[in-house]
Structure 1
């Protein structure tokens, strides 16, 4: 494509006249908004180490009581988007949240969808629309758009989890807001889903009236399924998606979630795709290569990769590694924007 005229090529008087009338010439910026062949991402390949986050999060618990914070969170911000914009990718917000023993994070509901992946600690819970969901390491708990939810802690040690929200997209659409509420009466303990690992018996089955029939995905069950698949499949990636068991679709509408097992001494080469991705180590150790960048990740570390990046998951240890992945594929697929390309 030939070089387009620059803004500096236009007379100053002409540019000032356009500005005064709230007009902007497209052609000087056309290649920025419509670059040839692939996007120019602001999302940078970056990692956040849990060993760096945890002491600062614990200190936040000493500095700010829950009553003054509502949600005590440190945001994992990508510098490519500007730290002040509090986003990991253009669609995904990440935050590490702390709840201390006997604390209660008050009930509210908001327009962004959220999930909680439990990083550390026991005996905390999230109540979603009256369903009390215990929070154990590796569990995934949904708090979808518009549903009341609150967090409580009956244990003796701090509990930390990773928040994943589609806040950047909802905020960009000027549709982001929150509503406060009262403590919810518990109507269901949520300790055992009637769907088991997400399988639904078809005979005499009646679909649930709500869009989210399963709010808690226990890590013990997801890990067992990954191990079972690894025994049955000696080669190739072992990956399971968190889905709505009623429909088989992604468990939420905008961000997709999955878990991957990387066997001992195995390398998985992922196909470049149009969706940015977030990686969080649930168990084990991982060398994560994103293009020319290499990140050595341990349990509870988090990283993200921009769109169309070449990503390698490398396990050099003698034990398997389990990784939680969040990506932008669901919203892109709904808009017919999603694509996968061959590796270079």
Structure 2
């Protein structure tokens, strides 16, 4: 006796609807749709509203994470979760509530708080995901990239292109927390990611605490490129962008504005982009990073952009509006700006809550991807741009 052949149940489900621009609902149409389902076919006329909307409609939603809560929970994790294999970095990712519990801040961006206890080493690994570290408070940890020990201090931005071996070590008696940013969601959805474990412990010659890394000594001189360096891999060769230089650049822009010479992107709003010193391009192929300083009382114009961003309040206080959500924010708070949601900020910072007397915002985004694909678009509310 032959075994009957069963047809697998199709994941395609089509429903005939009585609606404008849709075909008349008839038994023949229903029969056609059952045929489509059986052959795993989906007609565009039933999906065009989702696949080709009039403007971006992100699944991510505007959301704010309070630094005081992240810091408290990271400290608890420091007592309970090992940093070695299995705990792998003790990184705690922000999960946007619109993305179904995935550990993604936006559909393309990963942001996490990482916490290292006194004397701990985070074991070595490498991955194709491009990454950075940004320090909102503390010091005492060195990240070791390809054997180069790089100090991490408040305000420092430390980018790292993919497929570089890296580890961390805490040389002090105090714990330290910082944020990690990566393009994990982008590489996940494009199915392009690789990951490899390295050594469980770094060598004594790498557990050093120099004031400046080798990369800074070679590349950290404004406007000067070392002639000893030939072809470079993707991503910036400079592994640390010091806060003292970022701070000075922002202060100079606002000073020039006050003197009547311009220099700011809009009144009271200074901004800089971290760039590759060898090319002038973004520091990483898939990630853009910027620092914004908004003078007390100034408010930025609402801006919509394709692609998404994550911001961290580096210093000061104020209010931010993303879409229809408005929050008051203080040092360390993080928030997500989904694609094409209007964003604006108002500074209420002063000398009591900000070293600069202004609201300082660190931002990272997926803009390089959108620009490479010619999908970038920006609109400043109230203008024709």
The answer as to whether partners of 1:207 and 1:246 remain within 8 angstroms in 2 is no
> Displacement of 1:220 after TM fit?
2.0
Q: What is the root-mean-square deviation of aligned Cα atoms in Å?
A: 2.4
TM-score, length basis structure 1: 0.91
Whether 1:324 aligns to 2:362 is: yes
Closer/same/farther in 2, CA of residues 153 and 340 from structure 1, 3 Å limit: same
- Aligned equivalent of 1:224: 248
- Aligned equivalent of 1:233: 257
> Displacement of 1:285 after TM fit?
0.9
Instruction: Identify which of 222, 240, 255 aligns with 1:199.
Output: 222
Closer/same/farther in 2, CA of residues 116 and 3 from structure 1, 3 Å limit: farther
Whether 1:15 aligns to 2:39 is: no
5+ residue gaps, structure 2, are: 1-18, 259-266, 351-356
- Aligned equivalent of 2:160: 143
Instruction: Identify which of 273, 283, 297 aligns with 1:265.
Output: 297
Q: Which of 1 and 2 has greater Rg? A: 2
Map 1:110-125 → 2, pairs under 5 A: 110-125=127-142
Query: Mean alpha-carbon deviation: is it higher for 16-25 or for 224-233?
Result: 16-25
The answer as to whether partners of 1:91 and 1:168 remain within 8 angstroms in 2 is yes
- Aligned equivalent of 1:169: 186
> Displacement of 1:16 after TM fit?
3.7
Map 1:1-344 → 2, pairs under 5 A: 3-5=20-22, 13-36=31-54, 38-67=55-84, 68-83=86-101, 85-182=102-199, 183=202, 186=206, 189=210, 191=212, 193-194=216-217, 199-201=222-224, 205=227, 208-211=230-233, 212-234=236-258, 235-318=267-350, 319-344=357-382
Closer/same/farther in 2, CA of residues 7 and 311 from structure 1, 3 Å limit: farther
Closer/same/farther in 2, CA of residues 215 and 12 from structure 1, 3 Å limit: same
Which whole-Å CA distance do the structure 1 matches of 2:26 and 2:68 have between them? 51
Which whole-Å CA distance do the structure 2 matches of 1:69 and 1:334 have between them? 35
Query: Mean alpha-carbon deviation: is it higher for 269-278 or for 40-49?
Result: 269-278
> Displacement of 1:208 after TM fit?
4.7
Closer/same/farther in 2, CA of residues 205 and 3 from structure 1, 3 Å limit: farther
> Displacement of 1:50 after TM fit?
0.8
The answer as to whether partners of 2:319 and 2:346 remain within 8 angstroms in 1 is yes
5+ residue gaps, structure 1, are: none
Which whole-Å CA distance do the structure 2 matches of 1:129 and 1:3 have between them? 61
> Displacement of 1:329 after TM fit?
1.1
Query: Mean alpha-carbon deviation: is it higher for 192-201 or for 230-239?
Result: 192-201
TM-score, length basis structure 2: 0.82
Closer/same/farther in 2, CA of residues 335 and 190 from structure 1, 3 Å limit: farther
The answer as to whether partners of 1:272 and 1:308 remain within 8 angstroms in 2 is yes
Deviation string 1:177-232 (CA, Å, 9 cap, x unpaired) is 21011236549957162477662236x84555333320111112211211122111
